[in-house]
Each structure stands twice: as C-alpha cells, then as structure tokens.
Chain A
Amino acid sequence: MLLSPTQRVLRAFAAWAVVALFVFPIYYWITVAFKVEREIFSLPPKVFQFTPSWKSFEEVFGVSLGFENGLEVIPGGGNFYMTPRLVDSIVVAFFSTILAVAIAVLAAYALSRMRIKGQHHFVFWILSTRMMPPVAVAIPMFFIYKNFGLLDTHVGIILIHALMNLPLAVLLLKSFFDDIPTEIDEAALIDGASRFLIFRKIVLPMAMGGVAATAVLCFIFSWTEFLFVLTLTQTSLKTVPVVSSTFVTSTGTAWGNMAALGTAAMLPAFVFILLVQKNLVRGLTLGSLKQ
C-alpha cells in the first residue's frame, strides 16, 4: 500500500513503540541480573538508573569476575552455584538434537521420495504425537522410567526430548527435501546409484541448510523444556528452566541470581534464533508454511 512520507514516519514510530513494549521485559530481566538486592526491591522500580554489579553472576557461576573488590567468591561453593546445571542443559539439548535429527533425516527422505501406503495417515500420526499434552506422556513415563532405571538419568531426558522434537524434525526436514527436485534422484537411480548413495551424496548435502535450521530449533525446544525435566529428574541432573524455580525459598526469592542464570541461558538462544531467521516461520509451523 502506498503511504505518504508522514504516514511512513508515523508507521515507523508506532512499529518501534510496539516492539519496544515486547523487548522491555527482556531488558528489565537483564537489569535485575545486574542489580543488587536493594535496587531490585526499590520503589518506584528502577528501570534505567542503577549501579551495575556482577555479584549475581559471580555467585551463579562460582567465579570471581574481578569487577568488584572485596567480594569473596568460593569457586564451586554456595547455594546458587549453577554451572553444573548449565552443563546438564547443554548435554541434554546437544545429544537429544543429534538423536532427533539423525532419526528424522532418514524418515523424512523416505516420506519425501518414496511411495508409502497410507502416507497421509502416517504423517498425521506423527503430527498427533505433537498434540499430546506433555503431562499425558510424563505421568506414564515416570513409572516406565522407574521400572527401567532411566529416572533421573541424562539418557532418559535425552530420549524423551528427542521424542518430543521428532514430529517437528520429520515434518520440517520433509519440507526441505520436497524443495529439491525429484528428477535429480531419478536421474541418479537410472544410472544405477542406490537410494542410500543418492541420499548421502546428493540430497543430504543439498538440504544441509535445512538440516542446520532443524537442529537449531530442536536444540532450542530442548533448552526451554520444563515439564519432562521436572517430572523425570530428581537430584543427579536439572536443566536451567527447572532449576530456576529452586531460587524461590522460604526466606525469599533470589531474584538477582535467578535473573543472572536466566540471562546466561537466554543469550545463546538469542544468537541461535537470529541464525535461523530465514527458516523460522517454516520451523514454527512444522514445515507447512514457507517464507
């Protein structure tokens, strides 16, 4: 639609104002990470003027960042020492992503290239596992894991996160494979190449951008998942979203530490999401809308 210069300026102004409203809570949360307790609980709330401090980060990561003198930080000590939990999060997200993508990439190629009886029903079955309320999986899984000794283990969480991401990964990868003309496969088949050779040497390399985007989204969804980790772990591991709720204690909530951990957990995800902007909508709609 054609707009006059004045209308365009007004539009830009309105757009920036709206986006600022959405960015504000993130900004505010990051300021909380840098505030000392007195400034978190001040009235009126301090939004722009405060004295930044690294104290919360130092306690959460058990390191002295050396920005403040006289602060004694015991490495590996303290109730809020969360580096191991960050490692748990990374390990779970990394391996569940690899597992989900490895399984999905094979299935997606078959769904994209081969004639399968009842394909529509099969795809809908995959999709319907995405509709299951997590609680309807977590409750039986708790008892099944208990019987098989998978409760409170990294393997258990990696498996369940891979399952959770499979519908997304299969459907998304299928949509990327569908973009590659089948004539390429067929020409190679006539030349005597096997399906697996075509997949490995031709189709997979051509779809590498899509595979990377899928992996990034799987990583993020594992990184942010809450209910499965809450239900299926006890003491030996906890991911960042779940451990955040332990900052609420009977003597009060350690908002600064929580915000420091939250900020540290958000920043890598922000970088990741900016890397996949091009394929984001396709990913969010499980491959059904292309940008």
Chain B
Amino acid sequence: MASLSLKAPRVFISDRPLPWLLPLILILVVFALYPFFYNIYLSLHEFVPRKRELVFVGVENWANLFQDGRMWGSLWVTLLYTGICLAIQLVLGMVIALLIDSDDPGFGILRGLLTLTLVIPPAITGMMFLLMEDAQFGVITYFLESLGFLTEGSILGSSDTALMGVMLADIWQWTPFMVLIFVAGLRALPPDPFESAMIDGASSWQIFRRLTLPMMSKVIAIAVLIRGIDLFRTFDYVYVMTSGGPGTSTYTLSLYAWQQTFSFIKWGYGATISLFALFVILIAANIFVSLTKTRW
C-alpha cells in the first residue's frame, strides 16, 4: 500500500538525521556503553582491602566464576524463577484474558482495576507479601493453614517454599501485564475466520487451539520476550523479602552480583557476575528474537 502511494521524490529532502539523534547517542554512550566497558575493566581487576586499591588479576575472576558453585546455584534459581513465573503468567494471563474480553457492562472497569497492580513499586509489593506471608500474622499464611495446605513453619522461612513465596508476589503483580496484552491481541483478531469456524461446527477448544493461538503468536512472542527479560533480572522482590535466604534458596544472579560487590567488597567479582548475567540474557533474547522473527 505504502509503496503504491505517490510520494515526493526523495531527492528534494535533504535529511541529516545526526543532529536529531545526537543527544540520544550521547547519553547512550555515556550511560550505557561506558559503564559496559568499565564493567569489563572491573572484571579484570579485584579490590584488595589491604592495599585499598584495585589490582589487575587478568581472567582470574572469570576462571573463578565458572568454578563457583554458588554462582551456578543462583543461575539455576534465576532460571527456575523465570521459567515457572513465565509459564504461570502466560497460562493464567491467557485464561483471564479470555474471561474478561467482553463488552458486557462492567468489564471495562474490571480491566481498569487489573492495571493497578502494574504501578506499585515492586519493592513495596515485596513488603506487602512479606506481611501477608508472615509466619504468625500473615493473612495468606492463615488462609493456607486453615485449608490445611500449610501445617508448620512459614512460607518464606523454609528453603523448600521460600522461592514460591517470592514468586507469588511476582505472579500477582505481573499476570495482569499478560492479561492486558492478550486482551488487546484478542480484540485485534479479525472476526471472519471465527464465524466460519463456528458455522462449520468447530468446538471452542478447536477454535482456540487452531485459530486463536496461531493468530496471537506475535502478541505472545512479544509478551514472553519482555516479561522473560524482566524476570531474569529480578532483584527487588528477593532483596526485600528474603535477601537470598534461607540459605541460598532464593539467590538470583542479580542479587548475588550485587551482594558480592557491596556486601563482600569483591568489586571485580561482582562486576564479572553481572556481565555474565548480561551475556546470558543478550544471547537468549537474540535467539528468541530470530526464532520468532519478532520485529520492532
């Protein structure tokens, strides 16, 4: 369509995009590229408290990284957290989207109410769930106990359930994100294929499986990409709810990098872990984008 419409010949337009882009490029170089290279510099050094300065250590930090059981443990926790939250938010998001995608009276209000969770600072959400999951006075603990699901101990106090307790906060806050995106996707679907499928007597499940899902694939891919990246970077919830504990059961990669840097004064090693997290996510996101052909 666009290629067919008449346009002014490009020769008349002398475009010099650089002045328009310069402020953006400048701030991205100073605040994104420079820290990136500074991080590489840090990862090749280590702070020696005795000398009170950074000492060049070559690739020692990188060698240590790959032998560090706690690093692999926190990578595993991060992947577990990302995978489980993503799966639950996807399925729950789709189910709720199908449920509230309606023009009946009141449904607009419902969609508006669901957006509220998205603007609460995650650190405060963490506090909310910390109180609600409190071993003694928490309303969620009380509810689970009275249903008989939780017999003793607390959700966040036991290393078996602590990660689930943190995930609950994430799932609560971000499932509506999926719902809103999916509702928008559902509304943009053309009605014709669905009408003919219904005339042909297809069941609701068949329609969902063979029409809705394939036609929503671009929307789902974008939702998975954005949410997946954010889940992998998780820091706020674990920082305020468990600080990685009990034991190391809720250490995410971001929290581990942060603590190595600021709690244990291992500046070089912390930078190394954070770079490792960056590489993992860039590689994963690139593979995902090329496989799903997602485009901006």
- The 8 A CB mask of A16-27 against B (1 = contact, 0 = none) is 101100110110
- B183 nearest CB neighbor, chain A only: A281
- A130 nearest CB neighbor, chain B only: B229
- The 8 A CB mask of B1-42 against A (1 = contact, 0 = none) is 000010110101101010011011001100110111011001
**A264 smallest CB distance to B (angstroms):** 11
B235 close to A (CB within 8 Å)? yes
Q: Which one, B188, B229, B235, contacts A131 given CB within 8 A?
A: B229
B187 x A291 contact (CB < 8 A): yes
A126 close to B (CB within 8 Å)? yes
A135 close to B (CB within 8 Å)? yes
- B: interface residue count bin: 35 or more
Q: Write out the residue numbers on chain B whose beta carbons fall within 8 Å of the beta carbon of A277.
A: 111-112, 115
Q: Write out the residue numbers on chain B whose beta carbons fall within 8 Å of the beta carbon of A126.
A: 24, 28
Q: Write out the residue numbers on chain B whose beta carbons fall within 8 Å of the beta carbon of A42.
A: 137
A28 x B139 contact (CB < 8 A): yes
- A45-B137, A131-B285 known; A244 and B127 CB under 8 Å? yes
B96 x A18 contact (CB < 8 A): yes
How far, in angstroms, from A111 to B20 measured CA to CA in the complex? Answer: 9
Q: Write out the residue numbers on chain A whose beta carbons fall within 8 Å of the beta carbon of B65.
A: none
Q: Write out the residue numbers on chain B whose beta carbons fall within 8 Å of the beta carbon of A226.
A: 121-123, 235-236, 239
B27 x A166 contact (CB < 8 A): yes
A106 x B123 contact (CB < 8 A): no
- B5 nearest CB neighbor, chain A only: A183
B24 x A103 contact (CB < 8 A): yes
A280 x B119 contact (CB < 8 A): no
Most chain-B CB neighbours within 10 Å: which of A136, A142, A189, A266? A136
**A10 smallest CB distance to B (angstroms):** 10
B123 x A136 contact (CB < 8 A): no
- The 8 A CB mask of A93-123 against B (1 = contact, 0 = none) is 0000000001110110111011110000001
Q: Write out the residue numbers on chain B whose beta carbons fall within 8 Å of the beta carbon of A288.
A: 222, 294-296
- A: interface residue count bin: 35 or more
A153 close to B (CB within 8 Å)? no
- A25-B132, A141-B35, A163-B27 known; A115 and B100 CB under 8 Å? no
- The 8 A CB mask of A265-291 against B (1 = contact, 0 = none) is 110011011100100110011111111
How far, in angstroms, from A70 to B176 measured CA to CA in the complex? Answer: 44
How far, in angstroms, from A14 to B15 measured CA to CA in the complex? Answer: 56
B57 close to A (CB within 8 Å)? no
Q: Write out the residue numbers on chain B whose beta carbons fall within 8 Å of the beta carbon of A223.
A: 119, 121
- B18 nearest CB neighbor, chain A only: A110
User: 8 Å CB contacts to A: which residues of B241-296?
Assistant: 253-254, 257-258, 261-262, 267, 270-271, 274-275, 277-278, 281-282, 285, 294-296
- B54 nearest CB neighbor, chain A only: A143
Interface majority SS (helix, strand, loop, mixed), chain B: helix
Interface majority SS (helix, strand, loop, mixed), chain A: helix
B222 x A289 contact (CB < 8 A): yes
- B235 nearest CB neighbor, chain A only: A227
How far, in angstroms, from A111 to B17 measured CA to CA in the complex? Answer: 8
A103 x B17 contact (CB < 8 A): no
B110 x A273 contact (CB < 8 A): no
A60 close to B (CB within 8 Å)? no
Question: Which of the segments B83-91, B101-109, B152-160 contacts the partner chain?
Answer: B101-109
User: 8 Å CB contacts to A: which residues of B115-138?
Assistant: 115-125, 127-129, 131-132, 136-138
Q: Write out the residue numbers on chain B whose beta carbons fall within 8 Å of the beta carbon of A26.
A: 116-117, 120
B27 x A162 contact (CB < 8 A): yes
B124 x A114 contact (CB < 8 A): no
**B152 smallest CB distance to A (angstroms):** 16
If A106-B21, A289-B184 are given as contacts, then 17 extra A-B residue pairs at C-beta distance below 8 Å, sorted by A number, are A11-B99, A11-B102, A18-B100, A45-B139, A106-B23, A116-B21, A126-B24, A133-B274, A138-B258, A224-B122, A226-B235, A241-B236, A245-B123, A255-B131, A262-B127, A288-B296, A291-B188
- Sorted nearest first, the 8 A-B pairs with minimum C-beta distance are A110-B20, A241-B121, A269-B119, A224-B121, A241-B123, A136-B274, A140-B35, A107-B24
* Pairs across A and B, CB under 8 Å, 9 listed: A45-B138, A110-B20, A135-B257, A144-B34, A253-B131, A265-B124, A285-B222, A285-B226, A289-B181
